[in-house]
Amino acid sequence: MKKYLVTLLAVLTLGSGVASNAAPASTSAGLQLVAEGLTSPMSFVALKDGGALIADQIGVVRYLDPKGTLSETPVLSVTNRLSAINHGTFDERGLLCLAPHPGFEGNRRIFAVYTAPRRAGAPTNYDCTLRLSEFVLPAGNPPHIDPASEKIILEVDKPYFNHNGGRIAFGPDGYLYMSVGDGGGPVGCDIGEGHAPEGNGQNLKTRLAKILRIDVSGPDPARGTPYRIPSDNPFADGRDGLPEIYAYGVRNPWSLSFDRGGSHELFVADVGQMRWEEVDIIRKGGNYGWPLREGFEGFNRQHPEQAPTSRPEKGLRGETLLDPVAVYKNVSAWRNDPEALGISVTGGYRYRGKAIPELAGTYVYGDWSGAQGSPQGRLFAARPSADNSPWTVELIRVGRPYGCVVAFGEDNDGELYVLTNGSTGLTPGRGKVWKLVPAAAKN
Ligand SMILES: [Ca+2]
């Protein structure tokens, strides 16, 4: 009997040791509240004066002054320029991102992305238009943007309300990068009205499901656009694909950030369908697989919850499909699996700050809600591997609830901010911004 028990224990121990299903390691940190009273903060822009601009999904930008006081008067309001949004209930539309030009201190140019009403000429059954605009933020205190300074730069027609992407950042090359989702829809899978048969991810004649790169240093009179095409964009001549495309095969790229250190790589977190949430390092011309792949797997467009039976290696032009650097399982398909960490990835930044040495060099990000309909987001750190194997995903434990993880921000010192919403909808007053701090300094 004893021998049986010992053998059984050995089998159980061995079983848990060799199985891939294991709860992830964790790192401790803290969250320090820096702003509250928002609805759903989407973007945090650190200013040189030590203050910050916070863009709220409902269409307003607020100023957090260097003393930590949030202005009552908005810096900018575009509420009357937004498409309809579902106040109170879940929505992915609204004001999505804000990014200053690299020469902002001199030229005061600042860029924003929001969902606008369907533009003239768009298919009449489409939902809205994703709009990238430029504004001017004159020097002065308190900061104020005249909405009349708006100049529309680029628009993408959206068949459905969801999968907008709409995240922007300037690269070390000075060009503006923008993520655009696959267009969304009731069943996902890059299928349905407004989706190419092969999926928008694999169709190079649509800006949906892409990472775009444009040069906003001036207009291109020949093209009639207020921006130029960088001459080394992969489809710059427009023959095989749209000239704005920098990379493709993404589903709902909900973050876009450049590593402020190292070789300044471009990180994008791509929200998955039902099985995998992923983080990609984006290469010029790269095909990240959607909807041929999800995570490291193939993808079954008819039964997205099921393990796919094949894994394509190549795209339609014979190009190699690129793998993510980090993944975690989505609870939608992997119920009761300790490795299933959430439902929708929210991308962040590679941590190059000094305050939390344990996180040095990791990619800090999170999961929106942990599970459908519950505002119990998660925070993660993906730690680079020594070789080319996937980065290890660790939980960041902060010892307090914080709601849905909507977005992340980075300040001038490389310290990070977590933008949260205490509800899964757009409920006034539930949005907060926290600074990620060492565990000992929490609260
Ligand atoms: Ca992918």
- What confidence tens digit (pLDDT) does each residue in 340-376 have? 999 999 999 999 999 999 999 999 999 999 888 889 9
Output the DSSP codes for 233-292.
STTTTSSSS-TTEEEE--S-B---EE-SSTT-PEEEEE--SSSEEEEEEE-TT-B--TTT
CA of 202 to the centre of ligand 1 (A): 11
Are 11 and 65 within 8 A, CB to CB?
Answer: no
Which pLDDT band holds residue 171 (cuts at 50, 70, 90)? very high
Q: Is residue 332 part of a domain?
A: yes
How far apart, in whole angstroms, are the C-alpha atoms of residue 241 and residue 139? 40
pLDDT at 441: 57
How far apart, in whole angstroms, are the C-alpha atoms of residue 82 and residue 222?
30
11 found inside a domain = no
The span from the CA of 360 to the CA of 73, in Å, is: 37
64-68, 84-88, 155-159, 268-272: range with lowest mean pLDDT: 84-88
Q: Is 275 part of a structural domain of the chain?
A: yes
Q: What is the pLDDT of residues 56-101, one digit of tens each?
A: 999 999 999 999 999 999 999 999 999 999 988 999 999 999 999 9
Q: Which CATH number is 267's domain given?
A: 2.120.10.30
> Residue 264 falls within a domain, yes or no?
yes
Is the pLDDT at 10 greater than 80? The verdict is no
Q: What does the pLDDT read at residue 21?
A: 61
250 C-alpha to center of ligand 1: Å?
6
Average of per-residue pLDDT values in the chain: 94
Q: Is residue 391 part of a domain?
A: no
pLDDT of the residue at 20: 52
Distance from Cα 332 to the centre of ligand 1, integer Å: 18
Residues contacting 261, CB < 8 A, separation 6+ = 350, 352, 361, 414
d(CA 336, CA 316): 36
Asked if residues 218 and 129 have their Cβ atoms less than 8 Å apart, the reply is no
**Domains identified in the chain, total number:** 1
Ligand 1: centre distance to CA 391 (Å): 15
Task: Report the separation in Å between the CA atom of 304 and the middle of ligand 1, taken as the mean of its atom positions.
Answer: 14
Residue 9 pLDDT class (50, 70, 90 cuts): very low
290 within domain boundaries = yes
Distance (Å, whole) CA 388 – CA 384: 9
Average confidence (pLDDT) over 137-146: 95
pLDDT tier at 7 (50, 70, 90 boundaries)?
Answer: very low
Q: Could you tell me if residue 166 is inside a domain? A: yes
Task: Tell me, yes or no, whether 349 lies in a domain.
Answer: yes
pTM of the model: 0.94
Residue 193 domain boundaries: 39-359
| Structure token pair of residue 171 | 């690269």
- Give dist(CA 268, CA 308) in Å, integer: 24
